[in-house]
Amino acid sequence: MTPDQMPQTGGYMAAAYIAAAVLLVAYTIILWRRGAAKAKR
């Protein structure tokens, strides 16, 4: 296969990388806020 015959699958890659980043950052934020809430007591 030559490079120009390579399947154009970049969209999926972008979606996956973005989804993973969003999920991990979201969980980080969730934990951060729960940690802060506990400390205020």
Min separation Cβ 39 and other proteins, Å: 7
Residue ranges that bind other proteins, judged by CB under 8 A: 1, 3, 6-10, 12-13, 15-17, 19-21, 23-25, 27-28, 31-32, 34-35, 38-39, 41
Q: Which of 10, 33, 32, 13 is nearest to 21 (CA)?
A: 13
Min separation Cβ 10 and other proteins, Å: 4
Min separation Cβ 8 and other proteins, Å: 6
Q: Which of 1, 29, 13 is nearest to 37 (CA)?
A: 29
Pinpoint the alpha helices (H) of 1-41.
Answer: 10-39
